[in-house]
Amino acid sequence: MASSSSILLFAALIALVSWQATASDPSPLQDFCVADLHSPVRVNGFVCKNPMEVNADDFFKAANLDKPRVTNKVGSNVTLINVMQIAGLNTLGISIARIDYAPLGQNPPHTHPRATEILTVLEGTLYVGFVTSNQPAPNRNKFLSKMLNKGDVFVFPVGLIHFQFNPNPHQPAVAIAALSSQNPGAITIANAVFGSDPPISDDVLAKAFQVEKNTIDYLQAQFWENNHN
């Protein structure tokens, strides 16, 4: 019979392998792997630039994140700094975004398929929330929300639908978000469902949302603007 220490060691190894298998981004195997964005080789992420050609600019961007941005018709603007803007982020599993909110503006319900997000309010007030997945009751699609003030921090777990809304009709708001992926991705729910190309069948959506097809046709005819830069 295997000793208890052997069983514990085996369990620890299984846990380690499972954690690595479910990690969002691959872990670095060297100090850095600056992305070669022009390489024809296709891998999960980007191949490494020759380290002898790496310089400080590979880890830098004059992003002007201290400057306000113009918001769109939903009243927000997301300025994301990921591996496409800073090649040195490749394999490091992190990115950052500035989010500007007009008065009564929102960053509409969306999800990041590859990242957890931690958000800090720099200016103003935000009403934020997320919805849990289709897990067994009583936690099925549970809505968790909070009113945030300047200096407050809130976490949105990876993959869950979430939003931010500026409830102030007179003052804008600003937040900074860090995300646990070099390329977190964003799926804005309304844009994806009603603005896909080509469109999803209105028969499918009418059945899914339990509404008349003319309601779906109206929604699909709208211009679903992207607020991510």
Phi, then psi, of 214 in degrees rounded to 5: -65, -25
pLDDT per residue as tens digits for the range 84-101: 999 999 999 999 999 999
φ and ψ at residue 210, rounded to 5 degrees: 55, 50
The answer to whether residue 199 sits within a structural domain is yes
Among 69, 127, 80, residue whose Cα is nearest residue 229: 80
Q: Known binding site: residues? A: 107, 110, 112, 117, 162
Do both 28 and 71 map to the same domain? yes
- Give domain status of residue 95, yes or no: yes
What is the pLDDT, as a whole number, of residue 9?
56
- Does 158 share its domain with 204? no
Q: What is the pLDDT of residue 6?
A: 59
Residues 53 and 131 in one domain: yes
Q: Distance between CA 97 and CA 116 in Å, rounded?
A: 13
Which residue, among 160, 205, 164, has the nearest Cα to 74 in the 3D structure?
164
Q: Is the dihedral of CA 17, 21, 22, 24 positive or negative?
A: positive
Asked if 122 and 208 sit in the same domain, the reply is no
Q: What is the pLDDT of residue 17?
A: 47
- Three-state secondary-structure class, residue 177: strand
What is the extent of the structural domain holding 222? 189-228
Annotated binding site for oxalate: 107, 112, 117
Q: What is the domain-level CATH number for residue 144?
A: 2.60.120.10
Instruction: Output the pLDDT for position 140.
Output: 85
Report residues of the chain scoring pLDDT below 50: 16-22
Please tell me the total count of domains within the chain. Answer: 2
Among 183, 11, 170, residue whose Cα is nearest residue 104: 170
Residue 18 lies in a domain: no
* Residues 59 and 34 reside in one and the same domain: yes
Tell whether 9 is covered by a domain: no
Q: Residue 20: its pLDDT value, please?
A: 47
Query: Rounded CA gap, 133 and 159, in Å?
Result: 9
Q: Which two tokens stand for residue 31?
A: 């100090």
Q: Specify whether 144 is located in the same domain as 223.
A: no
DSSP single-letter state for residue 189: H
List, as residue ranges, the binding site for Mn(2+): 110, 112, 117, 162
